A and B are shown apart, each in its own frame.
Chain A
Amino acid sequence: MSKKIAPDDISAEVRLELYRTQVRLREAEQRAFDLFLQNLVKGTSHLSLGQEAIAAGFAVAMQKGDLSFCTYRGHAHTLARGVPVEKVLGELMSRDNGLMRGKGGSMHLTSVEHGVMGSYAIIGAHLPIACGAAWRAQYRGDSDVSVCFFGDGTTNIGAFHEALNFAAIWKLPVVFVCENNLYMEYTPIADVTAVEHPAADRAAAYGLERIIIDGNDADEVLRTARSAYERARRGDGPSLIEAMTYRHSGHSRADPAKYRPEGELERWKERDPIKMYRARLLKLGVSETVLNAIEQEIKDEIEAATVACKAAPPPSTDIIFTDVYADGGWAWRN
């Protein structure tokens, strides 16, 4: 640990954790892409390359017991809460060692143990669900916060509006995070939204503060997250945060993202969150050695996970008829 890091509201440990987390998310996601090219990742996958700072910042600021809800673009959010890389890759590769043994797939990554209360494939569905978890906390007097991640496209679906209104009137301890990566799916968000900032410009409609942040600056994300969590734990109700970012790959792997204007991707890659954070850490006095060590550790972790997943068997077919109901079975008749 370098003695030269300038003291401010974010400790050296936290900064290193932010860096480590972002690197892990990046390396894991990149590996997922590579495995897809090798035909080892099945089905569909939605990558969040380039959006790591948001997942990392909000996750690092959480306390144990806080709950997160995210969309089908959820690998990063799942990994950021501490779910082992092997379990995530295993699920993507449809192996028995996967997080849900292959029953859910990439779009539904869930680890209740880590507070990852689901990745949701129906746009907007999880916003009211996050309200419900927050309602339970309020009802019982628990101090945990529910954090709900979604994209800019979600702000135009009915459930978004119902959830925001609901959370506001009941003053629920829920934090809504809109990752505005500028594209709905294949369409620029600006073309389909009546206001410029799809989340922040709707906040007033629900009596909430307009918050727009640079989603590629992990420190800014962390500070915003802390503030929103404190507000929620105090009982002052929900927050709606719009974090500006950009995704480096297409909507899903099937999408080469040819709809992007010339030069846009390159410009955003200049603002790659990890590149920027690394530079900041060096400036703050963290040594190259430390950062290289972190990077190598992560690379080794990803490699070990990949090897383990490639060796893992496919899921046993006898799990097909399990866990439809609480009794563990599927029986709908006697």
Chain B
Amino acid sequence: MAELTYRDAVARGIAQEMARDPDVVLIGEDIAKAGGVFKATVGLYEQFGPRRVRDTPISEQAILGAAMGAAMTGLKPIAEIMFADFAAVCWDYFANEFPKSRYMTNGQVKTPLVVRLGNGGGARFGAQHSQSVENWCMMIPGLKVVVPSSPVDVIGLMAAAVRDPDPVIFLEHKSLYATKGEVPDGEIVDTLGTAKILRHGKDATILALALMVPRALEAAHRLHAEHGIDCEVIDVRSLVPLDTQTILASVARTHRVFTVEENPRLCGWGAELMSIIADEAFYDLDGPLVRITTPHIPLPAADVLEDLVIPSSARIVETVLRTLSN
């Protein structure tokens, strides 16, 4: 057992897979000798060498296109897009190329690749470097989308993503890079499409992702200690494939649901989950479905402004309290 930061867990997860399989390769901007702008790939160049850990020019389309061509012909590339916002720069590959290739070619072409992105806000980078784009990715048929919230999940889900034969979008949260968690020794392999109940409770279900997970846990603790409201907190972890069963089972127990989403209001990931719940679990619901989200605005840069718009644990407490009390 060791305590590891989220960023070190990224490097460890990649190293675990690269050591296991010589076809796993890593490309991106400044990821090799520099160890990545967020220091998430430190040590990999030293361990695996320039042939397997390669820096690229600032060419997002070339990075993803090359990852796709290599994946189609036998390698297992991990490609980094430094800031998740830059997915927009190479969106053709996310939306049109790698998720559709297998289907359009009637199963001939495979694209077993992983795209890692530096996702999310809270770091004062401003509107074009702070977005959470998991909802953009969730919408494209053929992609898988994974959003870990803890170091152990980073490693386990990275392993699962690399081993998965489909294209997997792996969203690392920039504001979680410095957080720490316990990680067991040895190989860690998790399963895509599995959510985790981090706190059991009976009064309400709170669904959260990434940075919103520790905030939801903190809110649940305060709700219980100060208001006697006992919330179940679920780290959704995997948007596609989605662990609908765990979520619906929780709703069947608590009858009230909240999502905490860092996406802007419209079409955040929680909108889709609430839609599924409102349909399948309609008769388990004892009250309206409430989403706690960032407002539908670009993110401001200044710290006091950003902190007011991204959901905080205080806002989660306040919303749950207001919704559940009469």
Seen from chain A, the residues whose Cβ lies within 8 Å of a Cβ on chain B are: 67, 99-101, 103-105, 108, 110-113, 117-118, 120-122, 124-137, 139-140, 146, 158-159, 162-163, 165-166, 169-170, 319, 322-326, 328, 330-334
Which residues of chain A are within 8 angstroms of B112 by Cβ–Cβ distance? 326
Q: What 12 new A-B contacts, CB under 8 Å, besides A120-B97, A159-B92?
A: A67-B73, A129-B72, A133-B70, A135-B70, A136-B70, A136-B74, A136-B75, A146-B69, A163-B62, A166-B66, A332-B242, A333-B193
Q: Are A323 and B75 in contact (CB under 8 A)?
A: no
State the CA gap A295–B223 with chains docked (Å).
83
B105: CB under 8 A from chain A?
yes
Q: Are A139 and B51 in contact (CB under 8 A)?
A: yes
CB pairs A–B below 8 angstroms (7 shown): A122-B97, A124-B61, A125-B92, A128-B68, A139-B70, A166-B57, A334-B244
| Closest beta carbon of chain A to B159's beta carbon, Å | 17
Most buried by A among B106, B108, B244: B106
Partner of B104, one of A100, A113, A158, A319: A100
State the CA gap A163–B57 with chains docked (Å).
11
Given contacts A104-B105, A326-B165, contact A131 B242 (CB under 8 A): no
B240: CB under 8 A from chain A?
yes
Which residues of chain B are within 8 angstroms of A159 by Cβ–Cβ distance? 61-62, 65, 92
B166: CB under 8 A from chain A?
yes
For A117, the closest partner residue in chain B by CB is B72
State the CA gap A134–B70 with chains docked (Å).
8
State the CA gap A147–B104 with chains docked (Å).
21
Q: Are A108 and B65 in contact (CB under 8 A)?
A: no
Which residues of chain A are within 8 angstroms of B144 by Cβ–Cβ distance? 325
State the CA gap A104–B56 with chains docked (Å).
32
Which residues of chain A are within 8 angstroms of B59 by Cβ–Cβ distance? 128, 162, 165-166
Partner of A110, one of B70, B108, B164, B244: B108
Q: Considering the complex of A and B, which 3 residue pairs feature the smallest CB-CB distances, nearest first?
A: A132-B69, A128-B65, A326-B165
Residue count of chain B within 8 Å CB distance of chain A: 51
| Closest beta carbon of chain B to A109's beta carbon, Å | 9
Partner of A134, one of B57, B69, B101, B105: B69
State the CA gap A158–B65 with chains docked (Å).
12
Given contacts A125-B93, A134-B69, A162-B62, contact A139 B75 (CB under 8 A): yes
For B79, the closest partner residue in chain A by CB is A132
Which residues of chain B are within 8 angstroms of A113 by Cβ–Cβ distance? 108
Q: Are B62 and A112 in contact (CB under 8 A)?
A: no
Given contacts A108-B104, A110-B108, A326-B110, contact A129 B57 (CB under 8 A): no
Which residues of chain A are within 8 angstroms of B245 by Cβ–Cβ distance? 334
State the CA gap A262–B12 with chains docked (Å).
66
State the CA gap A331–B102 with chains docked (Å).
15
State the CA gap A166–B193 with chains docked (Å).
35
B64: CB under 8 A from chain A?
yes
B96: CB under 8 A from chain A?
yes
Partner of B102, one of A127, A133, A163, A325: A325
Which residues of chain B are within 8 angstroms of A158 by Cβ–Cβ distance? 61
For B95, the closest partner residue in chain A by CB is A122
Which residues of chain A are within 8 angstroms of B57 by Cβ–Cβ distance? 162, 165-166, 169
B65-86 near A? 1/0 per residue, CB < 8 Å: 1111111111101000000000
State the CA gap A124–B93 with chains docked (Å).
11
Q: Are B97 and A129 in contact (CB under 8 A)?
A: yes
Partner of B66, one of A67, A132, A325: A132
Which residues of chain A are within 8 angstroms of B118 by Cβ–Cβ distance? none
B103: CB under 8 A from chain A?
yes
Q: Are B103 and A128 in contact (CB under 8 A)?
A: no
For A133, the closest partner residue in chain B by CB is B69
Which residues of chain A are within 8 angstroms of B70 by Cβ–Cβ distance? 132-133, 135-136, 139
B241: CB under 8 A from chain A?
yes
Most buried by A among B62, B68, B110, B193: B62
Q: Are B107 and A128 in contact (CB under 8 A)?
A: no
Q: Are B109 and A125 in contact (CB under 8 A)?
A: no
State the CA gap A235–B323 with chains docked (Å).
66
Q: Are A128 and B74 in contact (CB under 8 A)?
A: no
Most buried by B among A101, A126, A158, A169: A158
Most buried by A among B66, B166, B193, B245: B66
Q: Are A131 and B69 in contact (CB under 8 A)?
A: yes
State the CA gap A165–B25 with chains docked (Å).
20
| Closest beta carbon of chain A to B80's beta carbon, Å | 15
B151: CB under 8 A from chain A?
no
Q: Which of B203-248 contact A (CB under 8 A)?
A: 240-245
Which residues of chain B are within 8 angstroms of A319 by Cβ–Cβ distance? 106
State the CA gap A134–B96 with chains docked (Å).
21
B141: CB under 8 A from chain A?
yes
